[in-house]
Amino acid sequence: MSDLDLRKLRYFLVVAEELNYGRAAEKLHIAQPVLSRQITALEGELGATLFERSSRGTRLTETGTALVDDARALLAGAAALQRRARTAGRQGPHLTIGFMPGLIITSVVRDLVERFPGLTVDVQRTGWDTQVETLLDGGIDASFVRLPVPRRGLQVTELLQEPRVVVLPTGHPLLELEEITLAVLTAENLLQDPDAVPEWRDAVLTVRPNALSLDRIGLPVVNTVEEKLEYVAAGRGIVILPASTAAFYTRGDVASRGVSDLPAGRVGLAIPADRQTPVLTALSEIAEREVGTLTAERVSVMDA
């Protein structure tokens, strides 16, 4: 048997809680087929069936029921091990803070260190797929995240809202429009998980029902902002980014434009619910006070 994947265990626990793959996928912010594949893979690794699905719904098998408490204990133990390993041998108190691309947490870290002399703060860039995973695994102590995120086991404080923009290759015909709307973007290939931009997903399904299946065959698999922008510049598709992220990664071969009917994105601070300490409480207070410094002062978005 291969080593257990902690992420699959976390997915299992959400399905066990919801007993509905659709609701569990929404809670995890992943596509339902992806979740189903992960659970099937976990069952293969364990050599046991964890759920029974029928016309009456989804229910845990006897093995699945027995796994619930063990999985929770294993995940909690893994997180504690990560924290102990990360701090072993270090002198004085230590904190690791995660942040998503485009966010600037310098002033928050500076103020926190001033309030707690002797505190060492490390920072770690996270991604869409890791901003919560790394936190729950104990790899970081707190994280500035882009919402929505699964909130199980977390205390999340919403800090700010900011515009989201579409990034297009320079010279794209849509850049000539006076106003860009979601409707005009439905003909474009989205180079990211459609569930990450549900507004685009819902708009495109009204005109291209197969857009989330057949139309995505042949699209590149991209993970980082840098990869997405490379493919945009090459004319392979578009991406939707927070305005501060687009501004941070400014380059001459792509252009960012506002989308008039696209709601603002949200930024929050996530802290494990079971790790309330004076330092983390202070971090939350400082983040709320310094909210205006978390994104670039000048967001480079072309006026419509």
Q: What is the CATH number of the domain that holds 248?
A: 3.40.190.10
Say yes or no: 16 and 142 in one domain: no
Among 29, 56, 83, the domain-final residue is: 83
Q: What is the pLDDT of residue 208?
A: 75
Cα separations in angstroms, 111 against 105, 107, 117, 157, 158: 10, 6, 10, 18, 19
Task: Inform me whether the pLDDT recorded for 195 exceeds 60.
Answer: yes
Among 40, 66, 83, the domain-final residue is: 83
Q: For residue 61, is it within any domain?
A: yes
Q: What percent of the chain has pLDDT over 70?
A: 88
Task: Inform me whether the pLDDT recorded for 209 exceeds 80.
Answer: no
Domain span at 207: 164-258
pTM here? 0.67
Alpha-carbon 208 to chain mean position: 26
Cβ pair 226, 220 in contact under 8 A = no
Task: Inform me whether the pLDDT recorded for 128 exceeds 50.
Answer: yes
Q: For residue 152, is it within any domain?
A: yes
Say yes or no: 154 and 168 in one domain: no
Say yes or no: 14 and 149 in one domain: no
Say yes or no: 181 and 250 in one domain: yes
Say yes or no: 237 and 203 in one domain: yes
Residue bearing the bigger pLDDT, 219 or 289: 289
Say yes or no: 182 and 245 in one domain: yes
Say yes or no: 184 and 49 in one domain: no
Say yes or no: 188 and 242 in one domain: yes
